Chain A
Amino acid sequence: MAAGRTLRHPQPQPLIRRMRRILSPRELTVLGVVCVLVLGVMPALNAFLPVTHPLHISTFTLSLCGKYLCYAVLALSVDLLWGYTGLLSLGQCLFFSLGGYALGMHLMLMIGPRGQYKSSIPDFMVFLEFPKRFPATGGLPPHWIPFKHFWFAAAAVLWVPAVVALIFGFLAFRSRIKGVYFSILTQALTYAACLMFFRNDFTFGGNNGLTDFKDVLGWEINSPGTRRGLFMASALLLLVVYLLCRWLTATRFGKIQRAIRDSENRVLFSGYATANFKLFVFVFAAVIASLGGALFVPQVGIINPSEMAPDKSLEAVMWVAVGGRGTLIGPILGAVGVNWLKSVATHKAPEYWLYFLGGLFVVVTLFFPNGIVGIPEQVRQLRRRLTGRSQPDADKPVVDAAAAPKPETES
């Protein structure tokens, strides 16, 4: 209800007061502590402690954590669609990669003559004989030229996925494609894009993608300082996105979003243009994913078409399912947790990782429909069932009870 009032009083309020309406004091404290830990303590442990110190965090680990945080941003965007609006997008990695490619193009051009071929254009362009295809620009395809400016690349991170999402979303929602159809079509979209980016003459590096970056905004990309900066930027991005989502889902808009998820027809018949709401959320989520991708690329050092393969998007959906969809903290926990497990498992026993991942998919959907975040509630229900057998709901299976749409516990 608090959110509703916010909308009815359009006078500008200080951000902190608005935040207070959304976050309870306890949440604010927890958030503050986590922020200090991630934004202050972790980089400090990396920067000021000697390598031999047991509490030292290596630059590699820090980058790895930065990667997880970018994935968490992606997971938030999936959750905003799936958990809050009921749109299961299986193509969210497309937007993630589009953001990555947009920034990657800028980083690629910043390599300059330091590449293998000592040419002013990126290596793969020399290799693929682009100077013959684009003689007027010395081998650089025309649409690459503005990416020399960082601001253009940064803007492209925002508008390219937005435009793609807008067009696809408009077409999809206009013809009222929903449910599994929407999922399949988004999967087809990312599959088509993946095939497209694999082509060498699509001018984005084909199979190998964009890699071998040297520096970002003038800082050397592999130096510990830059790595720290990128990690902190990712953490900051995640914080901002989290708060933004928190705010959005607490507004009346958020209520309509959830109403669409639970019963779209009722919302439609109540006079809301659900297509427009869905379109907005879809575009918004695409931009969020893209921002995550843009920060992902300099930390990982490569972006290639396999990043937008359909199975990557499914994995992202899995993080959300594991963490708990329909909550905002769940996807973050899921993304970081599953990816940490993946790093450990692929290192220790690569051949069992797929069994584990597949098993996780099955077990989580069957037994923990609300993910990690939902487990305490499930335990509580189970206990209630065990103690009070006389309740009418007692003989319903756990899965069904948990699966039924529940009122939001957050707002």
Chain B
Amino acid sequence: MAARFFRLICRTFALLGLGGGLLTVGVSIGRAADPRATLVEALTNADLTAQIKIVQQLSIVADPIVSQVLGAWRQGSVYLYDGPDQSKVPFLLDSASDAAGKARAVAIATGKPLLDAAGKPLFLATAGLTAADTTSKLRKAIKTTLDVLALANPNPNLRRDAAAKLGFDQNPEFLLAFRARLAEEKEPGVRKALEEAIAITLLADGKPEVQLDAVRKLGAMKSIPALDLLEKLLTELSADPQRRGSALGIATLASVTQIHDHIVWGDFIGTCFRGLSLSAVLLVAALGLAITFGLMGIINMAHGEMIMVGAYTAYVSQSIFNRCFGAATGGADWYFVAALPGSFLTAGLLGLLLERGIIRFLYRRPLESLLATWGVSLILQQVFRATFGAANVDVSSPSWLRGNLTVADVGFTYGRIFVLGFAVAIVFLTWLILTKTSLGLQVRAVMQNRAMASCIGVRTDRVNMATFAFGSGLAGMAGACLSQLGNVGPSLGQSHIVDCFMVVVLGGVGNLAGTVGAALGIGVTDEILQPYLGAVLGKITVLSAIILFLQWRPAGLFVTRSRSL
């Protein structure tokens, strides 16, 4: 009866709006049912056993104040104040503070600030206060209560985590809480976790028929967390000659196999996804190079530094957004939207300068353009090292790129999904530009025959300039994109440059399909080899494979036919 009443109260509270300042919601309900009163009772009761009992009872009160106070209590930040009538008044310190750095005291009983004799809010320093005592037993009880309370947390992820954690305790006392929660739960992920938790708890049940049910259920759910427990059970069962051939033994074996298969499939899909996303990274990084090198025949050793410039642009725009909108607000989260075009422009502009200043003098000497651009890359690296420091800078992903999407126990991080989508978009965009615009037409004409294109009136000089700036801009965008996946430091470009060249050489000069194919090939092969050979040997194998592959197709995957030798 009481439990039902409490639940009613919780719902009322939920309806009243959890968002409104937690401490200031001073809703007074019947004295016996008031969670604040119960908390005060728990805190001030002199008897330890009684305290534990009250704490345990609190586990069905889903008022946020309960978890807040219990959490604070466990950490020793609930303080006691000797009230005027010799009673103890428990209070918390709130975030508001006065000039001296003392914090405002808020009474737990009322949720209102404590007042001093003059009727002004009381400000206290932490140092001179008595904290409410806890013993290890009490702390344990508080912990359990908090865990059970977490089952009702408004955040579904926390609910799921709590269910998974409590399930592993295999404590039958929680079953009631699980089932009660399951009856109300709407979120499918949390429902699954709760069912899993119930089944795992029942696994420790003495009765074979209950265990059999649980085992079958876990098998059907393909519960990976339960695998260890099931395997333990299996060894126990096979050690016992009487139970070895029992229905339970057979069902356990079946479930274990089922889960194993599930894991193998999950790994396979995970590897494929990682391979794809690595390919996307390579593709994004190498696309700019494929354009400058493939279409123009210029080796731009500073390509890696263009990537680095893009990544640092992301960092700078993050800093600007943080300053304008404040680091914690939603506005700063959108810095990345500005960073993408920003990095395109920055790197594109730099590319333009590089082309006008250096490369245009070297079109007839490709090997020397390699040396000159290498020099530029050294200078750029040193400039960034001097400006931003030699250490990596911190580019944090916007919240909408954090976390991952879990489908059938396989995690897909949003960051990598984004890169995948970005790669597709950027390749499509480049394809559009190269095939559907007049610039693209001119680029292709210059690529096929510079002299002839020049003769029929294409301003090759300008086309070169535009192509180079475009390629560099793409590299810059790649940098912004890569800043979401890894470290951003002055040597970022160096770590990608060899891979980029490999993609372009393998793909063949002057076509996008080759670049895409090569990036896919290298990325997926690398990811498949890695578990067997390790990262370094895998990379070496891929490099050797490329050299051997070029024996078979010296001009790369796809060849643009021409009469030149």
Which A residues lie at the B interface, using CB under 8 A? 82, 88, 168, 171-172, 174-177, 179-181, 183-185, 187-189, 191-192, 195-196, 198-199, 265, 310, 314, 317-318, 321, 351, 354-355, 357-362, 364-366, 369, 399-400, 403
A360 touching B375, Cβ below 8 Å: yes
Q: Is A369 a contact of B365 with CB atoms below 8 Å?
A: yes
B554 touches A175 (CB 8 A): yes
**Which one, B358, B366, B386, B540, contacts A195 given CB within 8 A?**
B540
Q: From residue A405, how far is it (CB to closest CB) to chain B in Å?
A: 11
**18 A–B contact pairs at CB < 8 A?**
A180-B297, A180-B299, A187-B498, A189-B543, A191-B498, A192-B544, A195-B539, A310-B498, A321-B368, A351-B382, A357-B375, A358-B379, A359-B379, A362-B372, A362-B375, A366-B358, A366-B362, A400-B364
CA of A244 to CA of B140, assembled, Å = 84
CB pair B361 A354 closer than 8 Å:
no
**B residues within 8 A CB of A403?**
364-365
Whether B501 sits at the interface, judged by CB under 8 Å, is yes
Residues A361 and B550 in contact in the complex (CB < 8 Å), given A180-B299, A188-B501, A399-B361: no
The residue on B at minimum CB distance from A366 is B361
**Interface residue tally for chain B (C-beta within 8 Å):** 41
Q: Is B125 positioned at the interface, with any CB of A under 8 Å from its CB?
A: no
| B498 adjacent to A355 (CB under 8 Å) | no
Least Cβ distance of B413 to chain A in Å? 26
CA distance A357 to B375 in the complex (A): 7
With A and B bound together, what is the CA distance between A188 and B299 in angstroms? 15
B365–A88 touching, CB < 8 Å = no
Shortest Cβ distance from residue A180 to the other chain B in the assembled complex, whole angstroms: 5
Is B378 among interface residues, defined by CB-CB distance under 8 A? Answer: yes
| Shortest Cβ distance from A198 into B: residue | B536
**B540: contacting residue among A174, A177, A192, A314, CB under 8 A:** A192
**Given A196-B536, A365-B371, residue A171 in contact with residue B548 (CB < 8 A):** yes
Chain A's closest residue to B383 (CB) is: A355
> What residues of B have a CB within 8 angstroms of the CB of A177 in the complex?
550, 554
Q: Which of A180, A184, A354 is in CB contact (< 8 Å) with B379?
A: A354
Contact between A183 and B379, CB atoms less than 8 A apart = no
Task: Indicate if the CB atoms of A175 and B358 lie closer than 8 Å.
Answer: no
Contacts of B537 in A (CB 8 A): 199
Q: Does B546 contact A (CB under 8 A)?
A: yes
Q: Are A188 and B368 in contact (CB under 8 A)?
A: no
Q: How far is the CA of A383 from the CA of B382 in the complex (A)?
A: 38
Tell me if B127 is interfacial: C-beta within 8 Å of chain A: no
Residue of A174, A359, A366 contacting most chain B CB atoms (<10 Å): A366
Pair B547/A168 contact, Cβ less than 8 Å: yes
Q: Is B277 located at the chain interface by the 8 A CB criterion? A: no
- B536/A361 in contact, CB under 8 A: no
Q: Does B168 interact with chain A (Cβ within 8 Å)? A: no
Assembly CA distance A351 to B385 (angstroms): 10
Known interface pairs A187-B501, A358-B376. Does A179 touch B366 (Cβ–Cβ under 8 Å)?
Answer: yes
CA distance A399 to B368 in the complex (A): 12
Cβ of B346 to closest chain A Cβ, rounded Å: 20
B505 touches A (CB below 8 Å): yes
Q: How far is the CA of A360 from the CA of B502 in the complex (A)?
A: 27
How many whole Å from A259's CB to the nearest CB in chain B? Answer: 15
Which residues of the other chain, A, contact B103 by a CB distance below 8 angstroms?
none
Among B367, B370, B377, B551, contact of A175 (Cβ-Cβ < 8 Å): B551
Instruction: Determine the chain A residues whose CB is within 8 A of the CB of B548 once the complex forms.
Output: 171
What residues of chain B lie closer than 8 Å to A399, measured between beta carbons?
361
Q: B565 interface residue, CB < 8 Å from A?
A: yes
In the bound complex, do residue A355 and residue B379 qualify as a contact, i.e. CB atoms below 8 Å apart? Answer: yes
Q: Select from chain A the residue with minimum beta-carbon distance to B364.
A: A403
